[in-house]
Amino acid sequence: MENEMENEMENENNEMENEMEKEENNEVEPIQPLYYVIATANFEKQEEEEMSFKKDDLITIVCDKYNWWVGFIDPENPGFIPKNYVKIYEESTISESNSNAEEVNNNNQESDEFEDLDLQQPDKNSKYSDQMEEVLNEDEFVDVFHQNLNQEKKMNEIKIVKAKEEEVAEKFKNSQYYLDDNFIWKKNKNSENRTFEIVKVEKRRKSFRLKQSGAYKIITNPGKYQITHSLQDFIKLSEKFQKEFQSILIPQISKSKNEISSIEQELKTFLVEINSHPILCQSHTFLNFLGISQAIIENPKFEFERKLTSYFEEIGIDHQKKLHDFNYYVHKLESEFKSLKDSMIKLTKQNQELGDSFVEAGEIFNELGKIKFDWDSPKENQEIRGKRQSNIGSTLVAFSFTLNQISKLIKDEVISSAEPLITFLSRYLTLLSSFSQVIKRKENLKSKCDSSLNNLSKMEKNPNQQPQKIAIEKKKHQDLTLIYKNFQLAVLGEMKNFQSNISSDLRNSSREFVTNQIKFHKKMGELWEYILSFLDETEKEKKRK
């Protein structure tokens, strides 16, 4: 018995020693990052083992078993985090050298290293802090952290850029936005009942100001079309003109009042007819162009020719600011003309397609007209039935002919009349582009003249300077000044020609277009009346059978 007891005690001692050896040799499993979280609020630590963070901080979580998670922002300063202060951002990318998240969870369930974690007494948990610090100092975790942080920043930048692009695009489409003095789009607070009017300030000096409470409203064909479009960009540009001309008398135009009145009336007709076109009504650019034209008509003091003439003459005086503004205006006008040209080409293409569809429809109805219709009415005799079939056939053939006539009208008249407008726009687009280059050359010449004058002044003030060199420099300056003045006159002449031609060309090219548009709308009205009468007749025939 004694031997047995001794053996048992010896076995127990051996087991205890083995367990102690196991505990001594047992290695702590490394803590793995589970995922990343974003802080939803600021948090200031109360205890040493806790971690402070700010809202929107990106935090790496390594343990999520308790109300207080374990994680870090800086790998060297890990701590406890209240989980109700954060939300999950994305799953972490764990290094190949680490086991996956499922294995970590299984290991935690089988042998949870945080089982005896006492949240009330952080001092007792110092061994876990030591383990975290040991593990989180490794380079691979630091790399993972920085890699994800950089990725987040990059994604945020992309989102911001995309959002900005969408915002700008939306604001350009929306007439509730306008350009401020720095040409930045801003929202108009008074977006309802927006109008603007041009008011004369002083009779003697003939300067103007704009009284505005929003955008200009265009209404044509009351009851049928009501179109509102923003002209804030044009208003801002006009305000720039007004500031430049505060002390300048606008020169009179050689044309008589009757001629000006006639031009205005023709342009009004042009605006009303084009603005009521179902396709052009949907064109943002074309409406903008029409709105500017209509604003010019409604107050002769803002007439296009006068404004351009005044500004061209001011360029001859050569003020740098005015030069810059004119250059801006040239580019602005160039942009408007280009958009208008694109709209006209698109309209021409649509009219071409419309004409083709009428041809196709005409061929179909022509074939239908040749078919002998049988209304399955045995009560009618052969003679009455034959007459009815003949009438239906004739109607269809006539309908086919009408469709073909409409097609011919569109192709031969409407499209061909659009070509002068497109040609006009193309020609002036080229001129506008060349003006920018001319202005640069003029600016360079002016700079050379100023430089030559400065050199001459320095030489004359220098008592040791030789008279011959002064004479040579003076001759050089005189030659440069003469070239500059001649160039100024040439530029001014070209600009005046441009100003004169642009008005007459637009008037001539648009008159034919408007005339044919009126014919087109009239013919289309006749066509739809014909279609309705044809459908009514067909319906009556069906009821008779």
Q: What is the pLDDT of residue 474?
A: 86
Tell me the pLDDT band of 179, cut-offs 50, 70 and 90: very low
Burial of 459 (0-12, 13-18, 19+ CB in 10 A): middle
Q: Is the pLDDT of residue 451 over 70?
A: yes
280 within domain boundaries? no
Model pLDDT, residue 536? 58
Q: Pick from 142, 158, 184: which residue ends a domain?
A: 142
Determine, yes or no, domain membership for 521: yes
Instruction: Give the pLDDT band (50/70/90) at residue 503.
Output: low
Is the confidence at residue 375, as pLDDT, over 70? Answer: no
Q: Is the dihedral of CA 328, 332, 337, 342 positive or negative?
A: positive
- Residue 365, classed as helix, strand or coil, is helix
Of the candidates 142, 166, 200, which is a domain's last residue?
A: 142
Per the DSSP assignment, residues forming a β-bridge with 38 are 58, 87
DSSP 411: I
| Mean of pLDDT values over 191-200 | 33
Which of the two residues, 45 and 138, has the higher pLDDT score?
Answer: 45
Q: In this model, does residue 462 exceed pLDDT 70?
A: yes
- Please list the alpha-helical segments (H only) found in 29-180: 101-110, 126-136, 139-173
Q: pLDDT at position 194, please?
A: 33
303 or 361: which leads in pLDDT: 361
CB atoms near residue 87 (< 10 Å): 10
Asked, for residue 406, whether it belongs to a domain, the answer is yes
Average pLDDT, the chain: 54
Tell me which amino acid residue 60 is: T
> At 444, is the pLDDT very low, low, confident or very high (cuts 50, 70, 90)?
confident
User: Structure tokens of 194?
Assistant: 């927006």
Tokens of 233: 């960009």
DSSP assignment letter at 297: H
Residue 13 CB partners (closer than 8 Å, separation 6+): none
Please report the pLDDT score of residue 491 as a whole number.
66
**Burial grade of 301 (CB within 10 A; 0-12, 13-18, 19 or more):** middle
Least confident of 251-260, 404-413, 491-500: 251-260
Q: Would you say the C-alpha torsion 295, 299, 305, 308 has a positive or negative sign?
A: negative
Is 172 domain-assigned? no
Q: Give me the pLDDT at residue 12, please.
A: 58
The partner residues of 86 in beta bridges, in order of sequence, read: 39
Which residue among 126, 142, 158 closes a domain? Answer: 142
| Structural domain includes residue 301 | no
Query: Which comes out higher in pLDDT, residue 296 or 441?
Result: 441
Q: 453 pLDDT exceeds 60?
A: yes
Q: What is the pLDDT of residues 231-278, one digit of tens each?
A: 343 344 334 433 433 323 233 333 444 544 544 454 445 445 444 444
Q: Give residue 443's pLDDT.
A: 74
- pTM exceeds 0.85: no
Amino acid at 202: E
Q: pLDDT at position 532, please?
A: 55
293 occurs within a structural domain? no
Segment 204-222 mean pLDDT: 29
Mean pLDDT score, 502-515:
57
What percent of the chain shows pLDDT beyond 70? 18
Alpha carbons within 13 A on the beta-carbon side of 454: 6
Sheet holding 79-82, edge to edge: 79-82, 68-72, 58-63, 35-39, 86-91
Residues composing the chain: 545
- 193-214 burial, b at 16+ Cβ within 10 Å, e below that, comes to ebebebeeeeeeebbbebebeb
In a domain, 225, yes or no: no
Indicate whether 458 pLDDT > 50: yes
**CATH code: domain of residue 372:** 1.20.1270.60
What pLDDT digit, counting tens, does each position of 145-156 carry?
455 555 555 565
> Domain count of the chain?
2
Q: Give ∠ CA 424-426-432 in degrees, rounded to 5.
A: 100
- Residue range of the domain that includes 440: 313-319+336-545
Out of 139-153, 169-183, 507-521, the most confident range is 507-521
Strand partners, 210: 198
- Is the per-residue pLDDT at 447 higher than 70? yes
pLDDT, position 84 = 82
Answer yes or no: is pLDDT of 53 > 80. yes
pLDDT of residue 534: 54
Please tell me which residue, 510 or 461, carries the higher pLDDT value.
Answer: 461
111 vs 200 pLDDT, higher one: 111
Region 517-532 average pLDDT: 55
Evaluate whether residue 242 is within a structural domain: no
Checking if the pLDDT of 346 tops 80, the result is no
| Cβ–Cβ under 8 Å, residues 85 and 74 | no
State residue 275's pLDDT score. 46
What type of residue sits at position 423?
T
Q: Other CB atoms closer than 10 Å to residue 537's CB: what's the count?
A: 13
| 443: helix, strand or coil | helix
What's the rounded Cα separation, in Å, for the pair 228 and 297? 18
pLDDT of residue 225: 26
CATH number at residue 105: 2.30.30.40
- Mean pLDDT over 192-220 rounds to 30
